[in-house]
Amino acid sequence: MLIIQNTLNNPDCPNEDWFIKTVDKILTHLKQDTLINEDQYNAELLIRLNDTTESQNLNKQYRQKDKPTNILSFPAQDLSHLPPELKAEIASQLGELIICLEVVQIEAKLAEKTLKEHLTHLLIHGILHLLGYDHIQAEKMTEMEALEDELLAKFDIFITRLSTEKLSLSVNKK
């Protein structure tokens, strides 16, 4: 189940139906490729669209980076220490994705992509984080980016990766 929290009044933001269809397509491909199971496919996912102030506050609180960011991923917690009755409730949650639409719009423009193309990329990126993929180590980054590219190709999206320094400068110029 997908839950959308849109705190913005931005006419450029895709509607809820677009998010539902896009996330379903991503999860369907992951399931077909046996990268997720049926429970993960049916798990609850919350997507929150926020502004730069909230994004910056959350990024500072959870990543110690005092600037807005395009997406934050909060996977459901490790359940091994919980009693069985709580495990069942929480196991049905994939996690939360917090997306700063203003940052995404700037990045899309810099990458010469449409907003929906870049949002699709970030949804894939965020979902992979929720599933435990990471890009801190070079080897893991190569694996994650290859999977992102494979999934993006299923949407007929082919990307040019930008340096984070270029993006940070553009976002912080306001």
Number of domains in the chain: 1
Q: Is the pLDDT of residue 58 over 90?
A: yes
Mean pLDDT value of segment 152-173: 62
**pLDDT value of residue 134:** 84
Mean pLDDT value of segment 148-162: 83
Question: Helices 138-153 and 16-32: crossing angle, nearest 10°?
Answer: 110
> 66: domain range?
2-172
pLDDT tens-digit profile of 1-39? 899 999 888 889 999 999 999 999 999 999 998 888 888
Instruction: Determine how many CB atoms are found less than 10 A away from the CB of residue 86.
Output: 11
Secondary structure of 127-151 as H, E, C letters: HHHHCCCCCCCHHHHHHHHHHHHHH
Q: Token digits for 50? A: 């926020």
Buried b (16+ CB within 10 A) or exposed e, 31-42: eeeeebeeebee
Q: From the centroid of its chain, how far is CA 80?
A: 25
pLDDT tens-digit profile of 95-130? 999 999 999 999 999 888 899 999 999 999 999 999
For the domain that residue 126 is a member of, what is the CATH number?
Answer: 3.40.390.30
Among 69-73, 82-86, 140-144, 156-160, name the most confident range: 69-73
Q: Is the pLDDT of residue 173 over 80?
A: no
